[in-house]
């Protein structure tokens, strides 16, 4: 069993606090992804779990054992890095078997184990080559091979796919997911790529400036971001955020965005006159100018085949809509756009917190 528990974990680099009081439980067999912008503390947190970085305060347990002071090699974890860190002078077989040789395994057992992992990763034919004779994706698989032969109770990945081209990244993503389904090993995976996070994770942990801002199932984060930051970070293309006016003069509270007036239940912001409204590009559809709730002007459009991205100007605010590719649009043309009020998200303009209509 390798559940991981972080309690009040803090990391200080001199006077700079990189990680603030993080509490997190990772269940045995779970695939958890840490995601967030550059510098938010993902690698620092992962390196503390690996034992490569000292913990300034808090408790870290792996499989119920307090490991704050335990050496990396005694934590039963295997880490895969962005740059693979393969030994250039060794063959791929020697690289994969390295950790086992260090543990004085018998030669025949090492060979059997190396072959078994190479088979899983489909690199059997490459075992006699050196890293320089491999493509990026093959090197990446060799690095994974080195991690899996050790049969650790915990895998740690730090942006393992970021050196690969877009196509290979998607292929390797699938392979990592398959590997996890096959081995069932507890995994913590770090990335700044929200698509990678959503596709791989059982649970996503969003970090910002050294703090956990939200954690949950990928769809939960997509459907109910608890703040503007998560709303904009999760989902591609990014959620639109529009400045809207709250109008309480009539019997029914309305919010006004551009020329659109949308009736809502009231918002728990008694003094506010404005609110940030979030709407995802895929929740906006094309309609006639007469029926459009919004009637922006098209600034740029991108025909992608599967859909067409329209980047519009709505009275000075930028708005991206993902439209049916059959809709023919032109630059500088005004179009009618509709949306379903249920797909709107409301955020407090002061601190970005999600507001629930009351
Ligand atoms: N050894 C160090 N000394 C001082 N500050 C550090 C050190 N290592 C990291 N930091 C700082 O801690 C913060 C978190 O860094 P970290 O490497 O964890 O970010 P990250 O989320 O992994 O970013 P990226 O996506 O760019 O890899 C950053 O502000 C960074 O400058
Ligand atoms: Mg990093």
- What does the block give as tokens for 68? 């704050």
pLDDT tier for residue 1 given thresholds of 50, 70 and 90: low
Give residue 164's pLDDT: 80
Q: Does residue 264 register a pLDDT over 90?
A: no
Taking CA atoms only, the protein residue closest to ligand 1 atom 29 is: 39
Give residue 347's pLDDT: 95
Taking CA atoms only, the protein residue closest to ligand 1 atom 6 is: 13
Q: For residue 149, what are the contacts with CB-CB under 8 A and spacing of at least 6?
A: 96, 97, 99, 100, 113, 114, 116, 117
Taking CA atoms only, the protein residue closest to ligand 1 atom 3 is: 13
pLDDT tier for residue 261 given thresholds of 50, 70 and 90: confident
Q: Does residue 162 register a pLDDT over 90?
A: no
332 CB less than 6 Å from ligand 1? no
CA 143 – CA 334 distance, rounded (Å): 53
CA of 38 to the centre of ligand 2 (A): 7
Q: For residue 164, what are the contacts with CB-CB under 8 A and spacing of at least 6?
A: 136, 137, 140, 172
Domains of the chain: 4-232 (3.40.50.300), 237-355 (2.40.50.140)
pLDDT in tens, 89-140: 999 999 999 989 988 899 999 999 999 999 888 899 999 999 999 988 889 8
Asked if residue 196 has a cis previous peptide bond (ω within 30° of 0), the answer is no
CA of 191 to the centre of ligand 2 (A): 8
Taking CA atoms only, the protein residue closest to ligand 1 atom 1 is: 13
- Percent of all residues in the chain with a pLDDT value above 70, rounded to a whole number: 99
Q: Does residue 266 register a pLDDT over 80?
A: no
Residue 5 pairs in a beta bridge with: 25, 61
> Nearest Cα to 295, choosing from 327, 274, 317?
317
pLDDT in tens, 229-243: 999 999 999 999 999
284 CB less than 6 Å from ligand 1? no
pLDDT in tens, 168-207: 889 889 989 998 999 999 999 999 999 999 999 999 999 9
Residues at Cβ < 5 Å from ligand 2 ion: 43
Test site for ligand 1: of 9, 11, 41, most ligand atoms within 8 A of the Cβ: 41
- If you compute the radius of gyration of the chain from its CA atoms, what whole number of angstroms results? 25
State the ligand closest to the CA atom of 41. 1
CA of 48 to the centre of ligand 1 (A): 12
Q: For residue 246, what are the contacts with CB-CB under 8 A and spacing of at least 6?
A: 253, 254, 255, 267, 269, 272, 273, 274, 275
39 CB less than 6 Å from ligand 1? yes
Give residue 288's pLDDT: 93
CA of 131 to the centre of ligand 2 (A): 23
Q: Where are the beta strands (DSSP E) in 233-316?
A: 240-247, 254-257, 260-263, 274-279, 284-287, 297-303, 308-314
11 CB less than 6 Å from ligand 1? no
- What does the block give as tokens for 237? 């293309």
Give residue 198's pLDDT: 96
Give residue 276's pLDDT: 95
Question: Long-range contacts for 300-309 (Cβ within 8 Å, ≥24 apart)?
Answer: 300/331, 301/329, 301/331, 309/237, 309/281
pLDDT in tens, 293-334: 999 999 999 999 999 999 999 989 999 999 999 998 999 999
pLDDT tier for residue 51 given thresholds of 50, 70 and 90: very high
Q: Does residue 151 register a pLDDT over 70?
A: yes
Q: Tell me the pLDDT of the chain averaged across its residues.
A: 93
Atom nearest to 210 CA in ligand 1: 14
CA 336 – CA 321 distance, rounded (Å): 11
Q: How many residues belong to the chain?
A: 358
């Amino acid at each position: 069993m390798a559940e991981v528990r972080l309690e009040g974990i803090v990391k200080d680099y001199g006077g700079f606090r990189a990680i603030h009081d993080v509490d997190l439980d990772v269940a045995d067999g779970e695939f958890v992804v840490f995601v967030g912008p550059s510098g938010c503390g993902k690698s620092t947190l992962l390196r503390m779990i690996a034992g490569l970085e000292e913990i300034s305060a808090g408790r870290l347990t792996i499989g119920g054992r307090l490991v704050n002071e335990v050496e990396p090699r005694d934590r039963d974890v295997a880490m895969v890095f962005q740059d693979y860190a393969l030994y250039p002078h060794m063959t791929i077989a020697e690289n994969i078997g390295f950790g086992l040789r260090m543990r004085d395994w018998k030669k025949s057992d090492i060979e059997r184990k190396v072959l078994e992992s190479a088979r899983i990763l489909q690199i059997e034919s490459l075992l006699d080559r050196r890293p320089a004779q491999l493509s990026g994706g093959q090197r990446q698989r060799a690095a994974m091979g080195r991690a899996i032969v050790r049969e650790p109770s915990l895998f740690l990945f730090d942006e393992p796919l970021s050196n690969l081209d877009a196509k290979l990244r998607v292929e390797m993503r699938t392979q990592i997911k398959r590997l996890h389904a096959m081995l069932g090993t507890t995994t913590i995976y770090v990335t700044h790529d929200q698509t990678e996070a959503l596709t791989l994770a059982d649970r996503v942990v969003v970090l910002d400036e050294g703090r956990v801002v939200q954690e949950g199932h990928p769809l939960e984060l997509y459907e109910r971001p608890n703040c503007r930051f998560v709303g904009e970070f999760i989902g591609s293309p990014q959620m639109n955020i529009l400045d809207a006016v709250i109008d309480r003069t009539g019997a029914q509270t309305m919010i006004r965005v551009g020329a659109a007036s949308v009736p809502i239940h009231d918002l728990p912001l008694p003094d506010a006159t404005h609110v940030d409204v979030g709407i995802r590009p895929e929740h906006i559809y094309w309609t006639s100018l007469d029926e459009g709730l919004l009637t922006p002007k098209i600034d740029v459009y991108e025909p992608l085949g599967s859909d067409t991205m329209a980047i519009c100007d709505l009275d000075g605010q930028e708005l991206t809509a993902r439209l049916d590719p059959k809709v023919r649009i032109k630059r500088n043309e005004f179009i009618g756009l509709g949306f379903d009020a249920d797909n709107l998200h409301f955020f407090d303009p002061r601190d970005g917190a999600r507001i629930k209509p009351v």
